[in-house]
């Protein structure tokens, strides 16, 4: 599960572009993640220049 720090995110879409599942989008005006289809590969976490994404523990 991915945690999004919305205060750190500047909507650059770097994560949107690298996500292999295409489950991230900014069309709502904030970064939205479709958790039902996320495979927890964590590629988005590695690529975020703002460190706005992190691995959340359940």
Task: Summarize as ranges the residues that interact with ligand SF4 (CB under 6 A).
Answer: 2, 9-15, 19, 21, 23-24, 31, 33, 38-44, 48, 50, 52-53
What is the three-class DSSP state of 33?
Answer: strand
Residue number with CB closer to ligand SF4 (13 or 27): 13
Strands 24-25 and 53-55: unpaired
Query: Cα(54)–Cα(42) distance, rounded to whole angstroms?
Result: 8
Residue number with CB closer to ligand SF4 (11 or 57): 11
Residue number with CB closer to ligand SF4 (29 or 38): 38
What is the three-class DSSP state of 43?
Answer: helix
């Amino acid at each position: 599960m991915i945690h999004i720090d919305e205060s750190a995110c500047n909507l650059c879409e770097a994560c949107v572009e690298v996500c292999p599942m295409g489950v991230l989008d900014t069309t709502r005006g904030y970064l939205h993640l479709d958790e039902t289809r996320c495979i927890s590969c964590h590629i988005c976490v590695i690529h975020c220049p703002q460190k706005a994404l992190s691995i959340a523990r359940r």
